[in-house]
């Protein structure tokens, strides 16, 4: 009886796994702006809706929008210049740029669909407009690269396999660990792709892409000596990012 139950569990687990494998295969599509094949489970309109729905909450978590209208106007002008001079303007996304009041958290991030944020803590450390363009260009790259939508679909896939492993052979923990490592690796790749796109956007808009290296140095200094090791983080080490940015500058400067 025990052997029969195990066989039944294995069959159920295999069926669940096959379902999620086939589902993932059916969700493969080529990003028309990057040329990269991705797993995507939602339409651009869904991404836009998610971003708009979550933008107020994200702003609230960082002290709301900054009250200085001149600073906000600068962020808007640089962001819109990057969009309008690049392939970003051809996307269906609604790019909006927000300066957050948070004076302590050095960060910038993008929600799906085009909602882009930079904290005052990071904004205040930037030395010139070109560095601001580097930050915003990187975040535009996340939107155009559909990284959030891809991570959502990939997470659904690995959660499905974890369920299959748990039902079939008590392997859910092992599969979950593999999935987490895969998602971390993919997250680092997303950052490098966004850096590459950011360099391209900067050059197209007339900004000095070398200043993105300055941004990396600011982020490295802010993280300090106790920053999380690269293999445990969704972000590559700043030194590795600088090396890749230099390669991107060489690739795009003569185009």
User: Does residue 175 belong to any structural domain of this protein?
Assistant: yes
In the block, residue with structure tokens 């309008």:
84
Q: Is pLDDT of 217 > 70?
A: yes
Q: Is pLDDT of 19 > 90?
A: no
Angle subtended by helix axes 172-205 and 211-223, to nearest 10 = 140
Out of 32-36, 159-163, 173-177, give the one with best mean pLDDT: 32-36
**Percent of the chain predicted with pLDDT > 70:** 70
3-state helix, strand, coil in the chain (%, to 5): 65, 10, 25
User: Does residue 178 belong to any structural domain of this protein?
Assistant: yes
pLDDT digit string, tens, across residues 109-121: 998 899 999 999 9
User: Does residue 132 belong to any structural domain of this protein?
Assistant: yes
pLDDT digit string, tens, across residues 72-109: 999 999 999 999 999 999 999 999 999 999 999 999 99
pLDDT attached to residue 162: 57
pLDDT attached to residue 159: 62
Q: What is the mean pLDDT of the chain?
A: 80
Number of domains the chain is built from: 1
**CB neighbours (10 Å) of residue 147?**
21
Q: How confident is the model at residue 15 (pLDDT cuts 50, 70, 90)?
A: low
| 255 contacts: CB under 8 Å, gap ≥ 6 | 203
Which domain does 57 fall in, by range?
13-252
User: Does residue 239 belong to any structural domain of this protein?
Assistant: yes
**Percent of the chain predicted with pLDDT > 90:** 51
User: Does residue 3 belong to any structural domain of this protein?
Assistant: no
Q: What is the reported pTM?
A: 0.79
In whole angstroms, give the CA distance from residue 12 to residue 234: 33
pLDDT attached to residue 246: 95
Question: 41 by DSSP, 3-state: which?
Answer: coil
User: Does residue 4 belong to any structural domain of this protein?
Assistant: no
Residues in a beta bridge with 29: 38
User: Does residue 1 belong to any structural domain of this protein?
Assistant: no
């Amino acid at each position: 009886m025990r052997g029969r139950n195990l066989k039944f569990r294995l069959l159920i687990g295999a069926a669940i796994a096959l379902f999620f494998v086939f589902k993932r295969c059916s969700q493969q599509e080529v990003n028309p702006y990057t040329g990269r094949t991705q797993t995507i489970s939602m339409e651009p309109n869904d991404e836009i809706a998610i971003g708009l729905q979550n933008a107020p909450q994200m702003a609230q978590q960082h002290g709301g929008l900054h009250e200085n209208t001149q600073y906000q106007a600068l962020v808007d002008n640089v962001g819109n210049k990057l969009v309008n001079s690049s392939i970003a303007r051809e996307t269906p996304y609604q790019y909006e740029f927000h300066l957050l009041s948070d004076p302590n958290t050095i960060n910038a991030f993008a929600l799906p669909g085009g909602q882009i944020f930079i904290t005052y803590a990071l904004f205040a450390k930037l030395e010139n407009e070109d560095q601001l363009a580097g930050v915003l260009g990187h975040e535009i790259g996340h939107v155009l690269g559909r990284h959030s939508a891809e991570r959502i679909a990939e997470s659904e896939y690995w959660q499905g396999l974890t369920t299959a492993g748990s039902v079939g052979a008590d392997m859910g923990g092992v599969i979950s660990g593999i999935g987490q490592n895969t998602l971390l690796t993919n997250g680092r790749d997303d950052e490098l792709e966004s850096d590459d796109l950011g360099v391209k956007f900067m050059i197209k808009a007339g900004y000095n892409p070398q200043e993105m290296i300055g941004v990396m140095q600011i982020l490295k200094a802010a993280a300090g000596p106790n920053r999380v090791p690269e293999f445990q983080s969704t972000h590559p080490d700043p030194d590795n990012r600088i090396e890749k940015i230099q390669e991107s500058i060489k690739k795009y400067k003569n185009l």
